[in-house]
Every structure is written in C-alpha cells, then in structure tokens.
Structure 1
Amino acid sequence: MRHLMSGNEAIARGAYEAGVTVAAAYPGTPSTEILENMVEYKDKIYSEWAPNEKVATEVAIGASIGGARSLTAMKHVGLNVAADPIFTYAYLGVNAGFVLITADDPSMHSSQNEQDNRYYAKFAKMAMIEPSDSQECKEFIKEAYRISEDFDTPVLFRVTTRVCHSKSIVEFGEREEVPFKPYSRNIPKYVATPANAKLAHVRVEKRLKDLEEYSNKSPLNKAEYNNKNIGIITSGIAYQYVKEVFGDNASYLKLGFTYPLPMALIREFSENVETLYVVEELEPFMEEQIKAAGIKCIGKELIPLIYELNPEIIAKVMLDKTYESKPLDVNVVPRPPVLCPGCPHRGFFYTMSKKKNTVVTGDIGCYTLGGAQPLEALDTCICMGAGFTAGMGMSKAFEASGRQGKVFGVVGDSTFFHSGITGAIDILYNKGKMVPIVLDNRITGMTGHQQNPGTGKTLMGDPATAIDVVEILKAIGYKTVKVVDPCDLKAMDEVIKEAEEADESYAIVTKRPCVLIKGLPAPKTKCVVDRDKCKKCKMCLNVGCPAIFFKDGKSYIEQSMCVGCEVCMQVCKFDAIGRVGE
C-alpha cells in the first residue's frame, strides 16, 4: 500500500513496523510531528510528551534496559539538553534497541542556531544513520533497531527540516512483533560507576571498529556509477540536490550509515572516479574524516559552510551554471512573525514596553515575539529556561555595578516545566533581585498546541493530573505569587509596579488561554473603531495586533481577525474603539 507521507510521518510508521513499544519526546520543530503521529499506533506504542528532552531520553533508555524497543525524538538543540544521559548510555549499551532522533534545522527556520548534530555521534561514540526521503525514513529506522541490538549501541537517527517536512511516496509494511528482551540485573553493564565505565569505554572503542567494518557493507551505503569524471560523496537531503543537478553526469556514493564512516568503501569509490567531491550541509563532518584518511577530495572549498543547500547553490558553486528551476508564479508579501490577534502575551509585553529602563529576559516560545516591533520588550533570548537564569545573572551583575531596578524574567507554562522550575529555585535560593514571570497560556503554543504537565491531558488523550504553576511557586517558597489576566492592562501594570517595589520574593503568573485552543467558545464581542472619534494618533498600532491597521488615514480593525481581547480598546485614549456583538 502506497501513501504520500512527510518524513516525520514515515518515521512514526517505521517505528511502528520496527516493533517499537515506548516513545517519548519533547515537542520542537522540525521534530514535533513524529510523536504526534505515533499516537495513531497507540494500541501498540506507548507515547508521551515528557517535560523536557533529558527526561524523554531517560524514559526511552529505561524502556530499552527494561526490554522494549524504544525511541526518543527532539529538535537539534534538544540534544544539548539530553546529552548527559546519551553520552553515558553510549558507554553502557542497550538491552532492546534504542534510537534517538535528532531533527536538525539548517538555515534556522525555527531555531536559535543551526548546530550540526552529526558531531554528537562522533563525540558520544555511537552509530549514526541519515535518510534522504520519506521511504528511507521508514526503512532506515527499522535498520537502526537491528544495528542497535546487533552492536549493543544507541543509534543517532539524524534528519533535517527538509527531510522532516517534505513529502514523498512510502510503501507500507507489516509490524514486526519483536519479543521483549528479558531483563536481568546487570550491575557491571548498567551502573555507571568509574570502575564499570572504564571497562565500558574499552568495549565502546572495539564496537566502533566493528561498526566501521559493518558500515563498509551496510545496505544503507551504496555507490551509483555513471560518468566517472565526477564522483560525489553525499548523504541526507544533499543527495537529492546533487542528483537533481548532475543526473547521470556524475557518480555518487550515497551514505545512509554516516558514523562510523565506511572508509574502505569511500577509498574504493575515490579510486574509481577522476575528481572527488564531498557535498554536505553545514559542517565538513565527512570531509574532515575523509581528508584525515589521506583521501584527496574537494568540499568546503566550494560548498557553503552555512545555511541550507539547494540545487541552485550546487549548480552555481560546482558548475558555475544557473540552475533552471520552475518557481511558483506567486508574488508573496513578506510577513515577519508576529503575535496572533488576541494573543494573551500581548498585554504583558505592551505593559513592559512602556517601561523603557526595565530589563526583561526572554525565552523560547511564542513570547519570543515580544522582542519584535513594535513591542520590542525583550532584552535576551538564549535557550529554554534562560528567561529565569540569564535574568538571575544579569540581576547579580547589576547589583555589583550599582544599577538600580529589578530584572523581570519570563518563561511560558511548558517551558516552566521543561527548565524553568530550577531557575525559579535558583532565584529564590540565591536571593536574586529579579521577578520570575510565567506566561501561562494553557498549552504548548509555538510548536502547535501539544499537551504539557499543566494541561490535564496526555499525548495519548488520557486525563492527567494538571500540575499547578502557582502552587509550585508557592511550594518553592515565594512569599507572593500574583495571578493576573495579561489582557487587563490596568491590573497588569499594577502588578508590575507592586513587584518592582516588593522587598520579599515575588513571582507573577499571567493566566489567559491561547485563543487558538480547540474547543474554546467563540468570542461574544469584537472591537471596532468609531471612525469619527479616531484622532489618528496611532497608539493602537503600538500593541502590534495584526488585526489593526490604518485604512483611508484612520485606524481600522479587521473583524475576521479580531477576537475581542480589548487590549487596543484600553490603549485608545479617545474612546474611539468600542465593542460590538454584546
């Protein structure tokens, strides 16, 4: 049976066919849809959204040790969070097969960097596999489990945004009902004390040699000989690009098993072509190793080191030709990212935008857009949880330098569970002169409305205990925890002023659900401009709502976009904005 599937959908299908029993992840573009599609197979696979990537990895590791084939998935920066357990599990080895999926993001479509996670395989000393299309996503994931169990190793399954989200034809197979591996206590293998780890490291180095020997005959690596004047070593989505540009005018060594590299196979290929190129996105991961092996090749001398590749780039740098693509005949208007109409974060950031000397340390989520025009109310955005902890560091620097005023640090509700709780503890424990603020919109917003520990529902749709952010902050020991509707600008301003003046520990939770949550009742009222009262002051534009713009020289609110949050109505000093539909 043939289906048109994205790479993420195909990975989920492949995990099902491979006999996976446990899957855990934290949502992050471009990996999110893997676990979302795993729910389709919930009669066979237990799936969960974990609070963060480290927890997800440890859950999957525990399942592997317990005898069940397991999977964890995350975007590239998530592997930084999960690095602690994965480096050790690479030493220990598996019981049942274990695969970690890293979804890298060249060109940073939805990320704060474009790190190349192939180096994690080399650094952690574990096998790595890279598919090039959706069919390979499905088939390669099954091979990954065989490699994991045959070589007693975790496997890093590396995909990129284009592989995750592009669609191609996938041929379905049947599920392999893999028997559970029996579990028996094995302290030397699974208890990572220094004495045990020393012996494990010896096993790891031998395993790498065995893996390299296998990679030379792996079905995931294949040579395609055509014109031998040009030979191209490539992997992942880059294979699709070079094949589109060169066709039969070049020979290819397509690598799907990319660590350890099949050096004997690479050497044989190099001897059969006249000029050897290595084409890979981002870092010279393969090129460095190939050159270190004494094999002459051309790589980053031509191929760009940053951003995604595409056929146009390949044709230009390798052939000095213009690639004849067929662009869509569509004139797309540039649209910078912006908070949605009615976004509950807008009121908070509007309030903070008026406090020009106040520092607001931000975080990863919808609220990162609080740094965009016209609000421009964020000073930093580094990584998950740093809204609190970077703010803590800044507050200590300001204390030392004599700068007055408090720092306000923000995280979302999902980010609070991910990595904000420890930061909140640090602020309190070390007497930070700052105010932690949780922007609680009742969902994991930026990645597409996934459940989290505060929503009262699991990934698989089951009711769950809803963890209360307010009660956690109180339990930690904050003397005052204020809950406020961020769209009530007067209340929001009063709470911020109170926090600035507070002598004791003070935390804020803004509570208002994301307007896009399914099942919420439609707004009863909307906002409308009385054109006769509009003074053209443009104050309403300062809230940054996409529903508001100037039309015929005066303010106008597009009714199809307005959700009646009334932030604009509170900002207007001339009562030119009112409600309709009451």
Structure 2
Amino acid sequence: FNSVTMADGAEIGVIASGVGYQYAREALGDGANFLKIGFSWPLPRRRIREFASKVKTLWVVEENDPFIETEIRAMGISCFGKDVLPVVDELTPAIVARAVLGKEPAPGREGEVPPPNRPPLLCPGCPHRGLFFPLSKKKDVIVTGDIGCYGLGSMPPLNVGETTICMGAGFSAAIGFEKANEKAGRNRKVFGILGDSTFFHSGITGLIDAVVNKSRSVFVIMDNRITAMTGQQENPGSGRTLSGEETVALDIPKICGACGVKDDNIHVVDPYDLKASAEAVDRAWAAEETSVIVTTRPCALLKNVQKERAGMKCFVDEERCVLCGACLKLGCPAISKRDGRIVIDQEACNGCGLCVQVCPKSAVGKKGES
C-alpha cells in the first residue's frame, strides 16, 4: 500500500496520501521524489525515515488538518507542510506548485467538451426525498440539518435546511433556534433533522434536552437502516454488528418514548407515501409539544434493495404530460426535461414512485412492481 518513486536529480521529497498525492504528482511531476502512503495508520515510520534521509527538502501534502505532518514532526523529522499550504478548502495542483516551487504549474490538457454541471443531489429513489418534498412546501419553518445524506436536501429544488454544523446539531441547534425565536417574538416552527445512525451517535441527548426543556420543535429521524453517507456501515438500528453478525436492532420510536416524547406525538411513516408524509408533517407542525417523525425506508443503494427493485421503473406517458414540471420539483436526478419533453432515465430510475404521486395529470406510470 505504501510506495516510493524516486526521480533522477530531484532534491525535493513529498510524502502524501490520497488526493493530496494526486495533486502533488500532477504539480511536480518528475521534479520530486514521492512516498505515497496508502495505509496511513499505523504510519510506516521506518520507510518515512529512510525516505527523508534521501532528500534535501521534505514536504507533506495533505488536505485540511496536518495529521501525517504532525506525526512526522513528532518523529524529529524536519518538513514543510501547513506552515505554507492552506489548512482549509481543497488543494489543487496550482496551490501545491505555488507552495513548493514558487511558481504556477504548466497548463494541463484542456478537453474539447466541457464537463457538465453536476450539482450534489439526493440519489434516485432516496427515501429522504419523500419527507423533504412536503416539508419544502412549508414556508414558515426553520430546518436545522445534520451530517449525512439528508444534508443534500438543502440543495435546489427542495431547499430544505438552513444549517449543517456537526453530528447531533440537527437536534440541539433546533432547540436553540426555537428559544431564539421566542425571545425575538417570531412564530416560526423549527424542524430538526438527522439520520438513524446519527440519532444513536449523538441525537438521543438532544432529544432528551428538547423534552426536558419543553421544546415545541419537530425532531425528524430519517431511518434508512444503514450509515449511508460514509460507506454503508451497520449501526445499532440495522440489526447487524460491524462484522455482519445478526444482533438486536434497537427500536427508534420506543427510544423516543423512553426519552419522554408522548406516543401521540411520535409519527412513523413510509416516506415513499407522500400523503402519509405530508399528514405527519402537518400534525407535527401543529403540535404544542415535542414531536418526532420517524421515516422508515432502507437506503436505495443497499444491495438487497437494488436487487428487489431491479425491474421497477417509472415512465412518462407523453400524450398525457402537459410539461407542468411538478415531477421536476422532486429534484430526482433520473428526471429531466430534454428537447421539450419530460424524460425519466431508465438506467437511473429504481421505481420509488414519488413522481407518480406528484403528477397532477397521471402522466407518470410505474412498471415492474410485484
């Protein structure tokens, strides 16, 4: 996993990992020696010392915090890194070249076709979309988000979410926003949103605070049965250990009840059912006590889900379609308008059926459902 590339006559040495290595390699080319670290912990200390002894100037190129650099300095090895390179934002070959060489890099090859715009969106069939869509119609709400796929709900056209700070802040920030609203005399309902894994990790304490402090906010737990954004790791609600063994699956609604939320204020819905989701949003919005909405649908990218839904596709009946654009407001990447007509990409669609439910002219159908 760890490899060394030495260049004839080069006095500069670069230690890098991941994308930092790619940027440095593109910027410096054969003008530097490289130690590419593919297995970063434990660090290959002996190889690092050997590499450092063969170069005149040593650089550590990594994005954000100086993790590798700090360890190398702790080994007593002198190097350059975050004393020159930025500690925030993404690196680029140009930034690396300016820092190490003091000049701009040679221009790269320009493609004949410019890359298309690819805004970050929820995946086709993502169950989070089913709750975000009715919530997006509420214009007098504040939505505090969290770290997870559901953070993408803040992107157009859904535009659901004002904050994304840290794990658990979807709930804790909601409590603070509500108290600030009360102080300022504003009557705006606050919805706090996080996922199932984040709820187990750092959301339960926020919910307890909400109940104890008599919060009127709505706390949404998007249960997609997995830790989706960071690689589909199991969590305490998925029913399996990290090694894949079957185990107890914790019951989120019961945990909410144990935290003090009244049964009448706990709403469990299938987010693929837009009517039920909208009704849950309305009931929670009108409540004068702490309310919880739990959406229950597994992530659309799980292998078993993809297998079950392999033949399910939605399609547009062009004779009925009036190009009203209602389906486009879902923000589904599988739906687009091309050459004056609405098109559903059959490769991307997995037949969740949300577009069928929003079409006012019954111009969208669904096939392959058992």
> What are the ranges of 5 or more consecutive residues in structure 2 without an aligned counterpart?
4-16, 21-33
1:83-482 equivalences under 5 Å are: 132-134=35-37, 137=40, 140=43, 219=49, 222-224=52-54, 232-235=57-60, 257-260=71-74, 262=76, 266=78, 279-280=80-81, 283-284=82-83, 300=84, 303-304=85-86, 306-309=88-91, 311-316=93-98, 318-323=101-106, 331-479=114-262, 480-482=265-267
Q: Which runs of 4+ in 1 moved over 6 A?
A: 103-106, 326-330
CA distance in 1, matches of 2:69, 2:280: 58
Return the offset for 1:504.
Answer: 3.3
Q: Per-residue deviation at 1:457?
A: 0.7
- Structure 1: runs of 5 or more not aligned: 8-102, 107-130, 144-169, 171-217, 226-230, 239-253, 267-277, 285-299
- 2:322 partner letter: K
Q: Report the CA distance shift for 1:135/1:550 in structure 2 as closer, same or farther (over 3 A).
A: closer
TM-score by length of 2: 0.80
Displacement, 1:138? Answer: 7.0
2 CA distance for matches of 1:306 and 1:476?
A: 38
Instruction: Report the RMSD for the aligned CA atoms in angstroms.
Output: 3.1
Q: Deviations over 1:2-30 (max 9, x none)?
A: xxx489xxxxxxxxxxxxxxxxxxxxxxx
Which residue is 2:11 aligned to? none
- d(CA) in 1 for partners of 2:70, 2:110: 30
Question: 1:531 aligns to what?
Answer: 318
Distance of aligned partners of 1:398 and 1:312 in 2 relative to their CA distance in 1, 3 Å threshold = closer
Shift of 1:326: 6.3
**Structure 1: how far apart are the matches of 2:189 and 2:70?**
52
Q: Is the 8 A contact 1:348 1:492 kept in 2?
A: yes
- Report the structure, 1 or 2, having the larger helix content: 1
Q: How much has 1:450 moved relative to structure 2?
A: 0.9
Inter-CA distance 540–309: structure 2 relative to 1 (3 Å threshold): closer
Number of aligned pairs? 334
Counterpart in the other structure of 1:502: 287
Q: Which has the higher contact order (CA 8 A, sep 6+)?
A: 2
With the length of structure 1 as denominator, give the TM-score of the two structures.
0.52
Distance 2:304 2:2 in 1: 27
Q: Which residue of 1 aligns with 2:334?
A: 547
Q: Contact (CA 8 Å) 1:411, 1:439: kept in 2 or not?
A: yes
Deviations 1:364-387 (A, max 9, x none): 111000000111011111110100
Is 2:52–2:58's contact at 8 Å kept on the other side of the alignment?
no
Quick one: distance in 1 between partners of 2:119 and 2:350?
21
Give secondary structure in 1 for the equivalent of 2:49. Answer: coil
Separation (CA, whole Å) in 1 of partners of 2:353 and 2:222? 18
User: Is the Cα–Cα contact under 8 Å of residues 222 and 255 in structure 1 kept in the other structure?
Assistant: no
**Which has the greater radius of gyration?**
1
CA distance 1:470–1:260, shift in 2 (3 Å): same
Listed one character per residue, the Cα deviations across residues 552-576 of structure 1 (whole Å, up to 9, x for unaligned) are 3121211222112111111111111
Hey, what's the Cα distance between the residues in 1 that align with 2:39 and 2:273? 51
Alpha-carbon deviation of 1:487?
A: 1.8
